[in-house]
Amino acid sequence: MNETKLTTSSTERRYGVHKKDLPLSCPTAQNESWNAHPRVFLDIEDKGEALCPYCGALYVLLDTDS
């Protein structure tokens, strides 16, 4: 059986994400959802970063096309 490691929701303040992880939502699929805010999808591709309006977590796109 394949086990996925879950983390507590919104405990970090800054997350690095890759294009393979898009579309981006907060909380992410790796976070437990029972104690999280409603899932919101974030547009990160235009600016290279996005701020969650619920918890204030900052997501930064790590593999930008520069």
Residue 31 lies in a domain: yes
Identify the pLDDT of residue 6: 47
With respect to residue 55, please indicate whether it lies within any of the assigned structural domains.
Answer: yes
Return d(Cα 22, Cα 45) in angstroms, integer: 9
In three-state secondary structure terms, 24 is strand
What is the extent of the structural domain holding 25? 21-61
Residue 39 belongs to a domain: yes
Task: Tell whether 57 is covered by a domain.
Answer: yes
Structural domains counted in the chain: 1
Measured CA angle at 43 (ends 41, 47), to 5 deg = 155
* pTM recorded for the entire structure: 0.74
Q: Which residue has the higher pLDDT, 17 or 28?
A: 17
6 in any annotated domain: no
Q: Is residue 13 part of a domain?
A: no
Query: Is 26 contained in some domain?
Result: yes
- Is 31 in contact with 10 (CB distance < 8 Å)? yes
Does residue 53 sit within a domain?
Answer: yes
Q: Taking residues 2-17, what's their average pLDDT? A: 64
